[in-house]
Structure 1
Amino acid sequence: MRVKVEKDELMLKDSSIGLIKLLMVLILFVIGIIIGLVSSSHIDRYFNSQPNNFYMNYVTVAPAPSYTTAIEKTKVRDNGYNCSTDLSNCKQQDCLSMEGFRMPKNVTHGMRDKELFWRASLVPDKREYPFERVPKVAFMFLTRGPLPFLMFWERFFRGQDGNKYSIYVHSNPGVPLSFPNSSVFYQRQIPSQDVRWGTVTLVDAERRLLGNALLDFSNERFVLLSESCIPIYNFPTIYKYLIGSTYSFLDSYDDPTRYGRGRYSLRMKPDIKLRDWRKGSQWFEIQRTLAIKIVSDTRYYNLFKWYCLPSCYPDEHYLPTFVNMFHGALNSNRTITYVDWSLGGPHPASFQAENITENLIQHIRNNGTTCSYNIEKTSICFLFARKFNPNALGSLLRLPSTLLGF
């Protein structure tokens, strides 16, 4: 019995010693925390009291990166530099100024398409503008090479109010487009990518043009033109016609032949059904609301990218189908760019130098057709025409200004 009592007393003594050790560890831990907090506050006060010295020491030790580093390339892309292919020539813009935000002074940037479309899709919730907004027409040129009718377009824009229009040019990378600094086309070439006829890259280029044009908040109407297009009315007439229109001008119709419904792929179901399938001319003119919807679309664009493969021609079907399905109330279902299909075949007739007469222009303007404009009927159905051969430039320039109005 005595042995047992001594063993119990020994165990109690050991427990007491263990408890004391644990208590000491906790006390030391708390003291350590207090010392750490006090030291931290002293350090904060030290650096807060000497910000300039800290900054100058940092700058001295860490030299600024050169433009050729990956860090600077990221800054160029994200901060909106005026970038060319030579990054050493970049000039930083004040992207936070209202002027630079609402109307970029140039169209060169380092944004990828996804970044461009995201930014272009931004819509202010506030209806009124914090600046005097004059609605503009964006003339978007999709060209494979140089603009053969540059002199004719220069004549068209000469003397017009620059606050009423803007110009954007998309050509294949590597195609040299040289415009004098006196030209309205000077520095209006947007960052581009390769475009191949009959593929979705044509749609990419259209959306890229729209995305860049949407960055200017004053652009209200957007017209797509090729290098073979010419205006058949003067600027005031075209501006009034487009700005005054309630609807967009995008060709969209149901073609029951193999050239229409025959290009539909069943793999697009259930998102796009055969009854939704539409065809139309690539050369459109649309309002800002519709342009934003187009650059914002990913789901239906991807269906065309995946399933509208060669012999389908996405540029003839994507926009006519997409707009018909979701935004038909905004569209007049017609084009304002004239082409001559009288010869038949897959391509329209081409106007040569010998074809250019006053009678031709009058015929294009008044060819016996009528069309809807807002709630009325009008004989002015076309504002532009194609397809003109480059050799027609001289003949076009010789047309009297009394006929053209410019």
Structure 2
Amino acid sequence: MLKISSFLLVSIGFVVDSMQGGGGGGAAVVLTVNGNGKDSFSNLARAPSRSLPLKLLKPLLLFAVLATGFLAAALLLLGGASSYRLTVPDVLSAAARQPRCAQHQEEGGPTLERWTRPAAASAWHNMTDDELLWAASMEPRVRKYPYRRVPKVAFMFLTRGPLPLAPLWERFFNGSSRELFSVYVHSTPGYRPDFPPTSVFYRRQVPSQVAQWGQTNMFDAERRLLANALLDAGNERFVLVSESCVPLHGFPAVYRYLTGSRHSFVGAFVDPGPHGRGRYRPGLAPEVSPEQWRKGAQWFEVERDLAVFVVADDRYYPKFRELCRPPCYVDEHYMPTVMSIEAAGRIANRSVTWVDWSRGGAHPATFGGADVGEAFLKKVAAEQRCLYNGQPSEVCFLFARKFAPGALQPLLSLPPTLLGY
């Protein structure tokens, strides 16, 4: 192989030298191959230039070109036996390595796949809280969606562990399309739920951290739930519930109520007493003044852009987190106060979750099996008078709490016509 290479290279050099023609003898530089297989340059002795006739030059040049092509093919086939290797820019391979969207951009390929693909079957991920909040805070500025989008309701369960009323919720969701809702569960770290693959709660637990009653980390958990739900671009409404909540209506009615509302459901009212205005912290100024301080229920429901605001808030929340410590409770004051400042005309100033505070104390009443029945639920419904989209309505509460695990079987025994599921 080395002999062939040397012969062809010398031949090409001779042809080039012959084609120079002219009177003066020049130094012809020819690339040769030494016995070690390395390239080297040699200066041929100066000699008078000998021009070949044109009729001999053409065949010789053609032979040299063909021989060079033959040599290149031989080197490719026998590259393992030779120290030479022909390098050709791998343009096709480089194009194949381009991102899929780049390959299909001019062809009208799936450039919106990141937004339109179905949500992941599992809600679990390995992001830190900072990474999660950053990813969840992204929001398109163009409001018109360039694809068919069916708005979903995200049900966010804030729990200490088990979901004792899960069978009732399974019945609530039964028969409804998964394109209309999604489920997220924030529980005590280390808790491992055991739901079958057919359950709406299967693999819907999000990476969780400790959430203690009355502590700031309680609302950290609520923001974490919002952020996880925001990762699904289909989610439009976000409702926070607990393991002791039950639905008061069937899924179709709840879905229509929430997606058809022009308002988000955040309770906010002025409480001038020690458990309201008395919890205000002067360090919250100038962002929050005492006159802007509000109180409300922990259990809220918001639309997507307000949810984005909450997870991206670096104006109010850092101060609440630092200053609002017991007897100031972030989960009772942050949403009512901040939403009243930033989106006063967009909240209904009421919750969609019914609770009974009539017994007094720091916690609402808990209902067991003996409390649950048709009369009880009719009483809850009779207490409802509110505005919905600016019009009087008798449907105000979609959920109720707090129900003990012992209430499950009596609730399941109620006629489907009473609850709608």
CA contact (8 A) 1:252 1:334 kept: yes
Shift of 1:51: 6.4
Task: Give the whole-Å Cα distance in 1 for the aligned partners of 2:139 and 2:376.
Answer: 43
Runs of 4+ in 1 over 2 A off after TM superposition: 46-52, 94-106, 125-131
Task: Give the whole-Å Cα distance in 2 for the aligned partners of 1:231 and 1:175.
Answer: 24
Q: What's the counterpart of residue 319 of structure 1?
A: 335
Is 1:382 the counterpart of 2:414? The answer is no
Q: What's the counterpart of residue 109 of structure 1?
A: 125
Aligned-CA RMSD value: 2.2
Shift of 1:397: 0.7
Task: Give the whole-Å Cα distance in 1 for the aligned partners of 2:117 and 2:337.
Answer: 33
* CA 262–149 in structure 1, closer or farther in 2 if over 3 Å, else same: same
Q: Which AA in structure 1 matches 2:405?
A: P
CA contact (8 A) 1:117 1:295 kept: yes
Q: Which AA in structure 1 matches 2:280?
A: Y
Query: What secondary structure, in the 3-state scheme, does the structure 2 residue paired with 1:163 have?
Result: coil
Shift of 1:138: 0.5
Q: What's the counterpart of residue 294 of structure 1?
A: 310
Per-residue displacement from partner, 1:82-130 (whole Å, max 9, x unpaired)? xxxxxxxxxxxx9984367673343111111121111111111333323
Query: What secondary structure, in the 3-state scheme, does the structure 2 residue paired with 1:49 have?
Result: coil
Is 1:123 the counterpart of 2:139? The answer is yes
Query: What secondary structure, in the 3-state scheme, does the structure 1 residue paired with 2:370 have?
Result: helix
Per-residue displacement from partner, 1:283-315 (whole Å, max 9, x unpaired)? 011111111111110121110111001211111
Is 1:398 the counterpart of 2:417? The answer is no
Shift of 1:141: 0.2
Shift of 1:360: 1.0
Task: Give the whole-Å Cα distance in 2 for the aligned partners of 1:240 and 1:189.
Answer: 26
Task: Give the whole-Å Cα distance in 2 for the aligned partners of 1:176 and 1:105.
Answer: 17
Shift of 1:131: 2.7
Per-residue displacement from partner, 1:348-390 (whole Å, max 9, x unpaired)? 11111001101111111221x4111012010111110000011
Q: What's the counterpart of residue 27 of structure 2?
A: none
CA contact (8 A) 2:121 2:203 kept: no
Task: Give the whole-Å Cα distance in 2 for the aligned partners of 1:172 and 1:330.
Answer: 33
Per-residue displacement from partner, 1:154-208 (whole Å, max 9, x unpaired)? 0111111111110000001111211111101101101111111111111111111
Is 1:373 the counterpart of 2:412? The answer is no
* CA 95–256 in structure 1, closer or farther in 2 if over 3 Å, else same: farther
Is 1:349 the counterpart of 2:365? The answer is yes
Percent identity between matched residues is 49
Task: Give the whole-Å Cα distance in 2 for the aligned partners of 1:265 and 1:99.
Answer: 42
Query: What secondary structure, in the 3-state scheme, does the structure 2 residue paired with 1:217 have?
Result: coil
Q: What's the counterpart of residue 49 of structure 1?
A: 88
Q: What's the counterpart of residue 211 of structure 1?
A: 227
CA contact (8 A) 2:300 2:351 kept: yes
* CA 301–102 in structure 1, closer or farther in 2 if over 3 Å, else same: farther
Q: What's the counterpart of residue 194 of structure 2?
A: 178
* CA 278–48 in structure 1, closer or farther in 2 if over 3 Å, else same: farther
1:221 aligned residue (222, 230, 237): 237
Q: What's the counterpart of residue 165 of structure 2?
A: 149
Shift of 1:336: 0.7
Q: Which AA in structure 2 matches 1:332?
A: A
Is 1:362 the counterpart of 2:378? The answer is yes
The structure carrying a bigger helix percent of its residues is: 1
Per-residue displacement from partner, 1:214-240 (whole Å, max 9, x unpaired)? 111111111000000000100111111
TM-score, structure 2 normalization: 0.73
Task: Give the whole-Å Cα distance in 1 for the aligned partners of 2:118 and 2:139.
Answer: 12
Task: Give the whole-Å Cα distance in 1 for the aligned partners of 2:231 and 2:206.
Answer: 12
Task: Give the whole-Å Cα distance in 1 for the aligned partners of 2:211 and 2:86.
Answer: 56
* CA 356–126 in structure 1, closer or farther in 2 if over 3 Å, else same: same
Task: Give the whole-Å Cα distance in 1 for the aligned partners of 2:158 and 2:87.
Answer: 56
Task: Give the whole-Å Cα distance in 2 for the aligned partners of 1:303 and 1:373.
Answer: 33
Structure 1 residues not aligned, in runs of 5+: 1-45, 56-93
Structure 2 residues not aligned, in runs of 5+: 1-84, 95-109
Shift of 1:146: 0.2
Task: Give the whole-Å Cα distance in 1 for the aligned partners of 2:411 and 2:112.
Answer: 45
Structure number with larger C-alpha Rg:
2
Question: Which range moved further: 145-154 or 176-185?
Answer: 176-185
Q: Which AA in structure 2 matches 1:344?
A: G
TM-score, structure 1 normalization: 0.75
Q: Which AA in structure 2 matches 1:168?
A: Y
Query: What secondary structure, in the 3-state scheme, does the structure 2 residue paired with 1:221 have?
Result: strand
Query: What secondary structure, in the 3-state scheme, does the structure 2 residue paired with 1:237 have?
Result: helix
Q: What's the counterpart of residue 68 of structure 1?
A: none
CA contact (8 A) 1:290 1:330 kept: no
Task: Give the whole-Å Cα distance in 2 for the aligned partners of 1:160 and 1:399.
Answer: 20
Task: Give the whole-Å Cα distance in 2 for the aligned partners of 1:216 and 1:222.
Answer: 11
Q: Which AA in structure 2 matches 1:269?
A: A
* CA 98–400 in structure 1, closer or farther in 2 if over 3 Å, else same: same
CA contact (8 A) 2:266 2:302 kept: yes
Q: What's the counterpart of residue 300 of structure 2?
A: 284
